[in-house]
Structure 1
Amino acid sequence: MDNIPNHLSKIDGQLGKLIILGFPFEELAINASFEEIVFLLLHSHLPTQGELNLLTKKLLDYRDLDPKILDVLKSAAENEIEPTEALRIGVSCLSMDMHSHRMDKEGISGALKIIASIPVITATYWRLINNKTIIDPHPALGHAANYLYMLTGEEPSLEHIRGLEIYLNTVVEHGLNASTFSARVVMSTRSDFVSAITAAIGALKGILHGGAPGPVIDMLLEIKTFSEIESYLRHKFESRERLMGFGHRIYRVKDPRAVLLSEVAEDLWHHKDLSEFWTLAIDVERIALRLLKEYKPHRSIKTNVEYHTALVLHGLDIPTPLFTSTFTISRVVGWLAHCFEQLEQDRIIRPKSIYTGPSEQKWSPIAER
Structure 2
Amino acid sequence: MSSTKGLEGVVATQSAISSIIDDQLTYAGYRIDDLAENSSFEEVIYLLWNQKLPTESELKVLKTQLREEMALPEAVIAHLRSYDLSTVHPMAALRTAVSLLGLYDSEADEMSEDANKRKAVRLQARMATIVAAFSRIREGKDPVQPKDNLSFAANLLYMLNGEEPKGIEIEAINKALVLHADHELNASTFTARVCVATLSDMYSGVTAAISALKGPLHGGANERVMKMLTEIGEEENAVPYIQERLERKEKIMGMGHRVYRNGDPRAKHLKKMSKELTELTGQPKWYNMSVKIEEYIKKEKGLPANVDFYSASVYHSLGIDHDLFTPIFAVSRVSGWIAHILEQYANNRLIRPRAEYTGPQTQDYISIEKRS
Q: Shared fold (TM-score greater than 0.5)?
A: yes
1:245 maps onto 2:254 in alignment: yes
Pair 20,34 (structure 1): closer, same or farther in 2 beyond 3 Å = same
Q: CA-to-partner distance for each residue in 1:82-105, whole Å, 9 max, x for gaps?
A: 101100111101113321899868
Tell me, in whole angstroms, the C-alpha distance in 2 between the residues paired with 1:203 and 1:193. Answer: 15
Q: CA deviation at 1:219?
A: 0.8
Tell me, in whole angstroms, the C-alpha distance in 2 between the residues paired with 1:272 and 1:165. Answer: 18
What residue is the counterpart of 1:264 in the other structure? 273
Match of 1:213 among 212, 222, 236: 222
Pair 110,227 (structure 1): closer, same or farther in 2 beyond 3 Å = same
Tell me, in whole angstroms, the C-alpha distance in 1 between the residues paired with 2:244 and 2:94. Answer: 35
CA contact (8 A) 1:103 1:109 kept: no
Residue 30 of structure 1 aligns with an amino acid whose one-letter code is: E
What residue is the counterpart of 1:329 in the other structure? 331
Match of 1:357 among 334, 337, 359: 359
What residue is the counterpart of 2:211 in the other structure? 202
What residue is the counterpart of 2:239 in the other structure? 230
Q: CA-to-partner distance for each residue in 1:160-208, whole Å, 9 max, x for gaps?
A: 0111001101110100000000000011111111000000000000000
Q: CA deviation at 1:116?
A: 0.3
Pair 101,220 (structure 1): closer, same or farther in 2 beyond 3 Å = closer
Match of 1:64 among 71, 83, 88: 71
- Specify the SS of the correspondent of 2:106: helix
What residue is the counterpart of 1:341 in the other structure? 343
- Specify the SS of the correspondent of 2:105: helix
Moved over 4 A (4+): 100-106
Pair 350,100 (structure 1): closer, same or farther in 2 beyond 3 Å = closer
1:292 maps onto 2:294 in alignment: no
Match of 1:40 among 24, 47, 59: 47
1:135 maps onto 2:120 in alignment: no
Pair 31,272 (structure 1): closer, same or farther in 2 beyond 3 Å = same
Of the structure 1 ranges 229-238 and 201-210, higher mean CA displacement relative to structure 2 is found in 229-238
CA contact (8 A) 2:46 2:53 kept: yes
Residue 95 of structure 1 aligns with an amino acid whose one-letter code is: G
CA contact (8 A) 2:27 2:47 kept: no
Tell me, in whole angstroms, the C-alpha distance in 1 between the residues paired with 2:11 and 2:297. Answer: 39
TM-score calculated relative to the size of structure 2:
0.92
CA contact (8 A) 2:267 2:306 kept: yes
Q: CA deviation at 1:316?
A: 1.6
Tell me, in whole angstroms, the C-alpha distance in 2 between the residues paired with 1:125 and 1:33. Answer: 25
What residue is the counterpart of 1:97 in the other structure? 104
Identity score, percent? 36
Q: CA deviation at 1:291?
A: 2.8
What residue is the counterpart of 2:37 in the other structure? 30
Tell me, in whole angstroms, the C-alpha distance in 2 between the residues paired with 1:230 and 1:262. Answer: 19
Pair 97,140 (structure 1): closer, same or farther in 2 beyond 3 Å = farther
Pair 151,340 (structure 1): closer, same or farther in 2 beyond 3 Å = same
Q: CA-to-partner distance for each residue in 1:45-103, whole Å, 9 max, x for gaps?
A: 11111111111111111011111111211112457321011001111011133218998
- Specify the SS of the correspondent of 2:267: helix
Pair 240,362 (structure 1): closer, same or farther in 2 beyond 3 Å = farther
CA contact (8 A) 2:18 2:25 kept: yes
What residue is the counterpart of 1:80 in the other structure? 87
Match of 1:315 among 314, 317, 323: 317
What residue is the counterpart of 2:5 in the other structure? none
Q: CA deviation at 1:253?
A: 1.1
Match of 1:171 among 176, 180, 185: 180
Structure 2: gaps of 5 or more residues: 1-9
CA contact (8 A) 2:107 2:119 kept: no
Q: CA deviation at 1:137?
A: 2.1
Pair 366,309 (structure 1): closer, same or farther in 2 beyond 3 Å = same
- Specify the SS of the correspondent of 1:155: coil
CA contact (8 A) 1:10 1:19 kept: yes
Tell me, in whole angstroms, the C-alpha distance in 2 between the residues paired with 1:248 and 1:342. Answer: 26
Q: CA deviation at 1:44?
A: 1.4
CA contact (8 A) 1:77 1:125 kept: no
- Specify the SS of the correspondent of 1:10: strand
- Specify the SS of the correspondent of 1:248: coil
Tell me, in whole angstroms, the C-alpha distance in 2 between the residues paired with 1:196 and 1:222. Answer: 37
CA contact (8 A) 2:153 2:170 kept: yes
